[in-house]
Amino acid sequence: MQGTGQKVQSQDNQYRAALRFYNGQGVLCPRARCDLGVKAKSPAQQTGEIIKKVESPLLKFKPSVVLIYGDTNSSLAGALAASKLGISIAHVEAGVRSGEGIPEEWNRKVIDVLAEYHFCPTMDSFQNLVWEGLWKSNSYLTGDVAVDLFEDTESDESVLDAYGIEKNKYVLATIHRQGNTDDKHRLSKIAEWLKTSDNAILISHPRNSKMLKEFGLEKQIKSKIRPAANYAQMLALERNARAIVTDSGGVQKEAYMSKVPCVVLREKTEWKDPVSHGWAVCSEIDYIQANLEKVISSEKLKPYGFKRGRNSIIKILEDNYGKTIQTKEERKKK
């Protein structure tokens, strides 16, 4: 396939990531061409199902290169399917490492091994590829497409009234990683903190919702739970929070870019700048409140380090495959 037009295979998170290339600068957002529709199963079953389902559109569209975003099971499955078909792979967020050895980390490493192009969001991620012996001539320090999405999206402030909260008077919590939700002890401790906090709210997620019910914890924090939010609503919640408690890599970055203190419910994080600049702290579940107070009062450096990535990636692809991505203005001229 000539040129760098993009066909989007959607498995929720991946569709949102794909839009990062197109939001802003008059570029049209594509609709998902194929909703894979794979339901929640064990990681191995889910990965296998996605590999089977993504093969057909890959054979149909015959792309020159497949863009793989991030570290999910969908990302791993897409990379494996493309690799088996001999299609070049470009990994967006290549080289990102936390050192925890969590499933997402292994997904990233496998994708980086398979990828012909590495698009690294930070200098740390670029250096990780060098240290691991994965660096190649097609490894680039491009910047982060999450920054494009963050800076180009207008937040939906109406969500504050809908959720019954006021600016700078609440702590936003998001919990979705398997290590926190599927461990009864850890989830109980998180629920205990939510229950005793005067101003914390928890955004519902399929995984935390399921496990709170399964462990019998939902009722005690029911008043703290708010419905799932779309991206524009999440930006409003993040930008107006007093602080954020999360296990999400994306939310960590958005907190940093919003200049909002953040407690990360993980032993380590792949995003080092927010921690070294005083905007984030990794925390064990027994010390959430203490670390929350610590990060709110700590000295902080002006946020820097995350740069836009969309245009750099598009240019690299256009240099190698030609240009078919068109702006709205270019479309109108035809």
Q: Name the residues annotated as catalytic.
A: 176
Overall size of the chain counted in residues: 334
Distance between CA 330 and CA 90 in Å, rounded? 26
240 burial (CB, 10 Å; 0-12 / 13-18 / 19+) is: buried
Among candidate residues 58, 7, 12, the one with its CA nearest the CA of residue 37? 12
In the chain, the amino acid numbered 35 is: D
Distance between CA 28 and CA 244 in Å, rounded? 32
| Strands of the sheet with 200-203, listed across from one edge | 225-226, 200-203, 171-174, 243-246, 262-264, 280-282
Sign, CA torsion 254/205/275/105:
negative
| Strands of the sheet with 65-69, listed across from one edge | 65-69, 88-92, 117-120, 139-141
Among candidate residues 12, 22, 9, 71, the one with its CA nearest the CA of residue 313? 22
Strand partners, 202: 173, 225
Among candidate residues 106, 148, 141, the one with its CA nearest the CA of residue 16? 148
- Report the Cα–Cα distance between both ends of the chain, in Å, rounded: 22
Strand partners, 201: 172
SS3 263: strand
